[in-house]
Structure 1
């Protein structure tokens, strides 16, 4: 009986602490403050853009990790089923590596199950629909050898280094510009050497230079100044169903798809 009472007290304390931190505390300081309102940017037009979901390029999306069917590409939409819960899965574009380029894409997240939404509310945990855009992934290696721009169903939460538009676990966005689950969002990402900008739903939220990051940051053991300057693009399956469309790449003027060269070698 005593053990049950102690366990109940611990659970109650955890729930209360989570609610205080995740809702009341945030709401008291941020809830009534004006925040920017974004909207998805349209599909880019003009010369130089490569549509990675065109009928010609759609077959280049592969699951390189296993034979498991993780996604489909139909009518210009890449649908990730969200089956990779215990282990991460990836839809990787194998057509060619890219070095310096502009990337536009749009994504729509499915609402999470009610129980996971409640747990996320209490503990501010990443139990909502979760994915990521991995860039400059070395051919033949794990997408984790590139870097990730996080995709997360965290509309209304404060910006953080694991939230929408972040460079995962390394750089926090200025604002969390995520729209509610079920609505289309846009990313416009620019890569020039070690410089990276991220624009979410029309708002530039990150403008950073990996050259400054000469020591490991967050959970990653490799300094970001040493990341490859060219590589593949991959989309993560982290157990949440979602859809991507209008994935377009425009190589920087005068720059073609290049060899994968580590920044440290330059």
Structure 2
């Protein structure tokens, strides 16, 4: 009797387990996901929006029609003294340029910017007044913090992360593309501003591309932080800020002309 009951119970358990496994089993996919087919109609890969704005690349005086002219040789209306916002003391020249007035201080734009395309032309002093970092030293500061070095390095070597075209103390230029001392150079800069979260942490580094007289010398370099003379780069949160030009306070004789920007924000 006991043997008969045991066999019956064993059978019931096996049947229950079989039913449970059958119910819990995940169905096996028998259908392969449909593969995206190669288009056979050229229209399938065409789109018509967004439509880019029309820009005249050689607008008034050769400046793109959507650019903001910051200096055209006629005055300092767009500039102030960087320290206190007073009137600019740099020297306005008859040739449409301005020259750093020694020990007068840096100047900056009244308008503040984020990401920009910047065109700026500069000339070292025709007189080789000094050597090393003191020969025609100035700088172009994006957002008042990130410097592209201006320097006369013709037959005048210095530390390479501080030479002409460097991102000061951070990135050595890919080439030295200077014209002869005393002639006009051009920087064309594509700059994307850094991003910070609500807690003040940097979430995205600034990047910069620089062409020096048409030659690529900085290729989408990721800026580490402020370009410090002493110490490591700093990354305090900030928003839009001015474009700043440096008075190195060493009788540099550097001149600037034809400055314009296109906002990329």
Give the TM-score band, short-chain normalised. 0.5 to 0.7
C-alpha separation between the residues in 1 aligned to 2:138 and 2:178?
13
Q: For 2:134, which of 119, 124, 127 is the aligned residue? A: 127
Distance between the aligned counterparts of 1:215 and 1:51, measured in 2? 26
Q: CA deviation at 1:131?
A: 0.7
Aligned position for 2:83: 65
TM-score (norm 2): 0.61
Residues matched between the structures, number:
190
Determine which of 79, 82, 100 is the counterpart of 2:115: 100
Q: Scaled by the length of structure 1, what TM-score is found? A: 0.61
Aligned twin of 2:66: 48
The structural deviation recorded for 1:230 is: 2.7
Residues 9-64 of structure 1, C-alpha deviations (whole Å, 9 max, x = no match): xxxxxxxxxxxxxxxxxxxxxxxxxxxxxxxxx97533211110148983121113
Aligned partners of 2:185 and 2:225: how far apart in 1? 32
Task: Decide whether the 8 Å contact of 1:104 with 1:186 is kept in 2.
Answer: yes
More helix by share: 1
Q: Deviations over 1:182-233 (max 9, x none)?
A: 100000011123111111010110124436x379987344346x56453101
Q: Computing the radius of gyration over CA atoms, which structure comes out larger, 1 or 2?
A: 2
* Residue 109 of structure 1: how far off its partner (Å): 1.3
1:150-176 Cα offsets, whole Å, 9 max, x none, are 100112556811111111111110111
Contact residue 80 and residue 237 of structure 1 kept, 8 A: no
1:204 maps onto 2:216 in alignment: yes
Which structure: greater strand fraction? Answer: 1
Partner of 1:247: 259
In 2, the alpha carbon distance for the partners of 1:174 and 1:80 equals: 28
In 2, are the aligned partners of 1:105 and 1:247 still within 8 Å (CA)? yes
Gapped regions of structure 2 (runs ≥ 5): 1-57, 194-205
Query: Do 1:129 and 1:240's aligned partners in 2 also have CA atoms closer than 8 Å?
Result: yes
Equivalent residue number for residue 176 of structure 1: 176
Structure 2: how far apart are the matches of 1:64 and 1:99? 18
Query: Relative to 1, partners in 2 of residues 1:164 and 1:174: Cα closer, same or farther, differing over 3 Å?
Result: same
In 2, the alpha carbon distance for the partners of 1:201 and 1:130 equals 18
Please give the per-residue CA displacement for 1:115-172, whole angstroms capped at 9, x wherever unaligned.
x3xxx3xxxx2121111111102xxxxxxxx111110011255681111111111111
Report the equivalent of 1:91.
107
Greater relative contact order, per chain length (Cα 8 Å cut-off, separation 6+): 1
Tell me the equivalent position of 2:164: 164
Identify unmatched segments of 5+ residues in structure 1: 1-41, 138-145, 256-266
Q: Does the aligned pair in 2 maintain the 1:173–1:205 contact within 8 Å?
A: yes
Say whether residues 1:79 and 2:98 are aligned partners: yes
C-alpha distance 189-228 of structure 1, shift in aligned 2 (>3 A): farther
